[in-house]
Amino acid sequence: MDLLIAPNTVTAEDADKAPTTGTPGYATDGNPITGTPRTPFPAYAWNAIQIEFKTVIEQSGLTLNRSDNTQLYQAIQKIVAAGASEAAVGYTPVEQGGINGLTSDKINIGNGSGGLSAYIAGNYYGVLATQNWASSLFATQPALSAEAQSRSDADANLQNNINDRVWKGGDTMTGALTIEGNTAGVVVQYNPGSPATDTYINYPGLASIAEGRGGEFHCQLQEHVGYKFAGLLSLRGSSGTWRYMSISEGARINDSDYGDVAYTADLAGCVPAATYAADFATSDNRVINLPYGHRIQAFQASVGDGTTAGSWIPFPVAFSGTPVFYQANSNGNGDGATDTDYWCYGATAMGMYVRPRNHAGSANIIVIGPT
């Protein structure tokens, strides 16, 4: 027997229930002659019949089996037999097996040399625990409570006797801790077993915490499983933001805020700041100092037109010798497409002549020479 298996069935919570109003009665197929309609068979009535059968079967200790249509009969037999046994002996007897997963093996119980003993299916299972037997081997609850209190009192006395300098698991140690002598110091450790490759493990570390103020500093070991170990220094400031410094195998020290740390070897190819300033510094934004004793000067100057001699143009800063390159051109102020010829000549360390073909006004000038 089993519950209904068909399309559109619902759970017990959604099953139709008997109406709360109406007069109970009996079903009829109807009578066309008298005009009596047939009685519809509602879902709640079908549910009621299922539940009645299901309850009897399961209360007898059986489990519903859709392939066995004799379960109601079996259940009634079991219930009747159990009632007869109870009536015969005057109490509810112990039944062997009868439930799925339990066997009906023969059980023998009796007093043996060691006490009340049991055999099941001919196999010895030992002495059954009795109150007298248990009391000779195990402590009672009051005795356990007294022992626990004694241990707690001893811990408290030890803590107080040496100025609160003993750490107790789960407690807080107060006062300073001093470790003297040639020892390993404070050791914190953890065995992760066999972690998966390419995962990260943060091992226990030491922490300094500004209680109630938000600041924390941690020192611990981190493992990138299968690759390398790294020492981590972690700082959280009052803003709540963490900053990390990693000292890793085969890599530079890294600062999460400022990147990799530089070393003195990294500075071997660098120029000291004083030398750089002496070589390249200038107070005139028209002058650009270059390496290897060169200088660029880029500026504007007013020049005459082609009908007069060239204009003498002094350089913003004097060179140490004659320039190696110089050029002038229109800056686009009122010139035409053909007004681009400029003649530069007579250059010295101090300046040069510039003569345009037919232009008067401002010109762009670039000069390169020795500093």
Residues 16-33 have a mean pLDDT of 90
Residue 249 phi/psi, 5-degree rounding, is: -60, 130
Of the three residues 265, 281, 312, the one that is the final residue of a domain is 265
pLDDT in tens, 172-199: 766 666 777 776 678 888 999 999 999 9
Q: How many CB atoms lie within 10 A of CB 344?
A: 21
- One domain, residues 353 and 304: yes
Q: What is the predicted pLDDT for the residue at 216?
A: 94
pLDDT in tens, 260-291: 998 888 888 787 887 777 777 788 899 999 88
The answer, yes or no, to whether residue 100 has pLDDT greater than 60, is yes
Of the three residues 265, 298, 313, the one that is the final residue of a domain is 265
Residue 159 phi/psi, 5-degree rounding, is: -60, -45
- One domain, residues 250 and 280: no
- One domain, residues 279 and 366: yes
Give, to the nearest 10 degrees, the angle between helix 71-89 and helix 43-59: 40
CATH number of the domain to which 358 belongs: 2.60.40.3940
Task: Label the pairing between strands 200-202 and 216-224.
Answer: antiparallel
* Percent of the chain at pLDDT exceeding 70: 82
Largest Cα span, the chain? 148
- One domain, residues 284 and 358: yes
Strands of the sheet containing 287-290, edge to edge, are 287-290, 294-303, 361-370, 325-330
The pLDDT-based confidence of 93 (bands split at 50, 70, 90) is low
Instruction: Decide if 231 contacts 247 (C-beta within 8 A).
Output: yes
Length reported for the chain: 371
Helix, strand or coil for residue 49? helix
Residue 129 phi/psi, 5-degree rounding, is: -70, 125
- One domain, residues 33 and 57: yes
Nearest to 358 by CA among 333, 339, 330, 343: 339
Note whether residue 81 is domain-resident.
yes
Instruction: Decide if 303 contacts 360 (C-beta within 8 A).
Output: yes
CA distance 163 to 174: 8
Q: Note down the domain range covering 286.
A: 273-370
Note whether residue 135 is domain-resident.
no
- One domain, residues 296 and 362: yes
- One domain, residues 340 and 251: no
Note whether residue 74 is domain-resident.
yes
- One domain, residues 319 and 359: yes
Q: What is the predicted pLDDT for the residue at 368?
A: 96
Q: Indicate the number of domains in the chain.
A: 3
- One domain, residues 282 and 365: yes
Note whether residue 84 is domain-resident.
yes
In terms of phi and psi (left: phi > 0; alpha: psi -120 to 50; beta: otherwise), the region of 88 is alpha
- One domain, residues 241 and 290: no
- One domain, residues 331 and 357: yes
Note whether residue 194 is domain-resident.
no
Tabulate helix, strand, coil % of the chain (nearest 5).
20, 25, 50
Note whether residue 107 is domain-resident.
no
HEC profile of 1-38: CCCCCCCCCCCHHHCCCCCCCCCCCCCCCCECCCCECC
Note whether residue 16 is domain-resident.
yes
String of DSSP letters for 114-143: TEEEEEETTEEEEEPP-HHHHHHHS--HHH
pLDDT in tens, 140-176: 778 788 888 888 777 666 656 555 555 556 677 666 6
Query: Which of 64-68, 99-103, 260-264, 301-305 reaches the highest mean pLDDT?
Result: 64-68
Which residues are CB-contacts of 263 (< 8 A; sequence separation ≥ 6)? 252
Q: What is the predicted pLDDT for the residue at 41?
A: 86
pLDDT in tens, 298-334: 999 988 766 567 889 999 999 999 999 999 987 766 5
Q: For all residues of the chain together, what is the average pLDDT?
A: 84
CA distance 157 to 161: 6
- One domain, residues 249 and 288: no
Note whether residue 79 is domain-resident.
yes
Residue 14 phi/psi, 5-degree rounding, is: -100, 0
Of the three residues 265, 296, 314, the one that is the final residue of a domain is 265
In 288-347, which residue ranges form alpha helices assigned H by DSSP?
Answer: none
